[in-house]
Structure 1
Amino acid sequence: MIIMIAAVAQNNALGKNNELVWHLPNDFKRFKTLTSGHHIIMGRKTFESFPKPLPNRTHIVITRQKNYHPEGCIIADSIEKAIASCPENEDAFIIGGGEIYALGMPLADALEITCVHHDFEADAFFPEINTTDWKVTSEEAHSKDDKHLYDYTYLTYHRK
């Protein structure tokens, strides 16, 4: 299954200047739990935003740069080639950024969204989730607390 995973603000904001604009420790834990042991597909800028490759995951980086070969990564020049690099019958996760999510939306089977209940100024956005194509199959709300400045909800969508 191809799963897109993202933390998305109410206004579909993802981040600004290649960084997240909020800090939700529980969302990081959920991301790690869901993606560990799997292939993760991302754009070059998303990959370069990490201090180091994420442990226990196979990184597939989509780039048009011909001489881009970070150690230990699979390189693809299209979303289709990135998906084809993943083992069949195993979950693979598309993890961003905005352009890659837009390319992945028609190819995804499921969405794992953390909806951050706030609007943010951003330069990267998640594509609109068309409710004629997607159905919420799981929902788990969380209130802000001393470690989380914003209310947030985990939403799982499956293609109708």
Structure 2
Amino acid sequence: MITLIAACARNGVIGRNNQMPWKIPGEQAQFKRITMGHAIVMGRKTWESIGQPLPGRRNIVITRNPQYLAAGAEVVASLDEALALTGAAEEVFVIGGGELYVEAMPRANRMLLSEIDAEFEGDTYFPHFDRRQWRETCREHHPPASDENFGYSLVTYER
């Protein structure tokens, strides 16, 4: 199963200057809990924004640069190659960025979107998707915690 997982603002923003334009510790902890123990596939820019491998997960980085090195991760040239590496894994998470979400969406079975209750300026967006091809199967609202400025809803879409 291929799952896209992302946090996006109401206006679709997922990043600005290679960073997420918000910090929501509860949402980040949820991402960790959901992806722990699974393969995560990301583009080079996402890898560089994180700066290190995410522990407890198989980190796979896609780049067009055949000389690229990512300490603690496996480097591949395509989504097909990344998926071939994961073999019969129960679930593979695509964690970004924008270009990779566009490429992976036609093959995805599920999307887990943390919809942030705010709009932000940004330069990277989650791709628009045809909601007729997806059904919303779960929506969990999380109001802002005492150390957070924004609430969010974790929405599961499946097809």
Flag whether TM exceeds 0.5 (same fold).
Answer: yes
1:47 and 2:44 are equivalent in the alignment: no
Q: Which runs of 5+ in 2 are unaligned?
A: none
Aligned counterparts, 1:1-150, within 5 A: 1-150=1-150
TM-score, structure 2 as length reference: 0.95
TM-score, structure 1 as length reference: 0.95
Maintained 8 Å contact 2:143/2:151:
yes
Q: Name 1:152's counterpart in structure 2.
A: 152
Give the aligned residue type for 1:19. Answer: Q
Give the aligned residue type for 1:68. Answer: Y
Per-residue CA deviation, residues 104-136 of structure 1 (Å, 9 max, x unaligned), is: 111111001100021110000001131111111
Q: 1:69 offset after TM fit, Å?
A: 2.2
Maintained 8 Å contact 2:52/2:72:
no
Extract structure 1 runs of 4+ deviating beyond 3 A.
none
For 1:58 and 1:151, locate their aligned partners in 2 and report how far apart those are by CA, in whole Å.
29
Q: Which runs of 5+ in 1 are unaligned?
A: none
For 2:10 and 2:78, locate their aligned partners in 1 and report how far apart those are by CA, in whole Å.
29
Per-residue CA deviation, residues 70-109 of structure 1 (Å, 9 max, x unaligned), is: 2332222111221121131411100001111111111111
Aligned residues: 159
For 2:35 and 2:151, locate their aligned partners in 1 and report how far apart those are by CA, in whole Å.
23
Q: Which is helix-richer, 1 or 2?
A: 2
For 1:129 and 1:35, locate their aligned partners in 2 and report how far apart those are by CA, in whole Å.
23
For 1:125 and 1:14, locate their aligned partners in 2 and report how far apart those are by CA, in whole Å.
5
| Alpha-carbon spacing, 1:122–1:116, altered in 2? closer, same or farther (3 Å) | same
SS in 2 for 1:132: helix
